[in-house]
Amino acid sequence: MSISPLLDELFAMTYHAGIKPGLERTEHLLDLVDNPHLRLPVVHIAGTNGKGSTSAMLASILQQAGYKVGLYTSPHIRLFNERIRINGQMISDDDIVRLARPLMTAAKAVDGTFFEITTAMAFAHFAERRVDVAVIETGLGGRLDATNVVSPLASIITSIDYDHMEYLGDTLVKIAGEKAGIIKEGAPAIIGAGALSAAATEEERQALRQVFEQRAESVHTTLSIAEDVVRVDVDAIHPDLTMSTSVISGEFLNYYETDLAGRHQAQNLGTVLASLPALRSVWFIDEEHVRDGLRRVRINTGLQGRIQMMDTHPATILDVSHNPGGIRALRQTLLDAGYHDHSFHVVFGAMRDKDILGMLNELQPITSSLHLCTPNIARAAQIPELQVLAERAGFKRISTHASVADAVTRARMRGPTLICGSFHVADEAVLAIRSNDT
């Protein structure tokens, strides 16, 4: 039986209830399923960028160490099931139906949201399967995010940057304060290598650092700032989009290979390595577990869409970045991997509430031709708006397409193709690539 009708109903709750910060509705739903989150050993991860990759790196390392690892991330690319995984295996359709239906009924009575239901489903699934550890990624913010009902064994904040300012505040300090809400009593806190880098001045960096220090002090827990304890240098980014790094931690120099590429991923790697002392106080993690886990992130966890080589003839690269910072990191990674300016036929679409012009400005130097499309979702920016902004960004060779699939097909006929701008674009692009390859 297809679960599409149930998922359509679940997704529709996004538009009915919207985004509603607060924990009361999630706590109500979890109480109905016997509070599974209270039985889970949790690593809780927040951040503007990098939390998905950081979560996957940690999950992969823990898997290599022999643990049964639940991984909860969002959004998905192709299938809703991608959000809830155990050792890389997606939750089954049967389990989705069994867990979702009563939670959806209960949520309607309290005006609950899509993400609150999904979060409760994940906790229930992980508790039923008795995972050894659950790596939980926040959805939006931290303090009032639905996932913040947990009592974690460690809290990690990957980065701070401008995003979702209508909910989190209009300054980096305000945004950091919301993210810092996941820091809890008795749970070591690790502040990622990218958490201070968006600051424009040293004064702002110190202000951000103070936010985290004050939060940790207020809840009587330890704080580790990754840039103080570990340094990761990129030795090489390879054309297949794997990466070699060298890492200095204290007096030790180590070398790591990873199947995630980019200077931003080196920052995420630094965050992961800085978290290991806290994790090792709970779980046994050998150095070989770290090395093997970092080499096998995509294989172990099913992570997709992070500067991912989808095909080699022609080179087809998929990335889910959806803000200027993410696109900037994407561009730099491709240049570091040996690609050049004006290398790519770029398939681009975006949600209309994003900084589309900012993203296009970052893409312009590496673009040979631009292929604009609108994914099949109400929030997506329409072609006329995209075209005006593309012209403003200085693009000369612009094509418009009736669908993401058409844009992908046409771009790949011309040569090396880059697909980016939105998870929703990635969703339809993956389906188009697989259809063309069969």
- 229-267 pLDDT, tens digit per residue, is 999 999 999 999 999 999 999 889 999 999 999 999 999
State the CB neighbour count (10 A cutoff) for residue 168: 23
**CA 47 to the chain's CA centroid:** 9
Q: At what angle do helices 324-336 and 356-363 cross, to 10 degrees?
A: 10
pLDDT at 60 over 80: yes
pLDDT at residue 280 is higher than 90: yes
Average pLDDT over residues 28-45: 96
pLDDT tens digits along 281-292: 999 999 999 999
Dist. CA 209–CA 173, nearest whole Å:
9
Three-class SS state of 123: helix
Candidate from 78-87, 90-99, 136-145, 400-409 with smallest mean pLDDT: 136-145
Q: How confident is the model at residue 438 (pLDDT cuts 50, 70, 90)?
A: low
Q: For residue 173, which of 204, 203, 137 has the smallest C-alpha distance?
A: 204
DSSP string across 237-267? E-TTS-EEEEEEETTEEEEEEESS-SHHHHH
* Reported confidence tier of residue 180, pLDDT bands at 50, 70, 90: very high
Query: How much is the pLDDT for 282?
Result: 96
Within a 10 A sphere around the Cβ of 67, how many other Cβ atoms? 19
As a whole number, mean pLDDT of residues 336-345 equals: 93
pTM above 0.85, yes or no: yes
Amino acid 166: pLDDT: 63
Q: Tell me, what's the pLDDT at 13?
A: 83
Q: Dihedrals φ, ψ of 133, to 5°?
A: -160, 145
Confidence band for 48, pLDDT divided at 50, 70 and 90 = confident
Best-predicted range by mean pLDDT (86-90, 175-179, 339-343): 86-90
Q: What own/partner pairs with CB < 8 Å and gap ≥ 24 does 253-257 have? A: 254/287, 256/290, 256/291, 256/294, 257/291, 257/294, 257/295
Domains along the chain with CATH numbers = 4-301 (3.40.1190.10), 308-437 (3.90.190.20)
Instruction: Kindly report, residue by residue over 142-177, the tens digit of the pLDDT.
Output: 899 999 999 999 999 999 887 666 667 778 999 999
pLDDT at 16 over 60: no
Q: How far apart are CA 356 and CA 417, in angstroms?
A: 19
Q: What is the dihedral of CA 103, 106, 107, 110, to 10 degrees?
A: -160
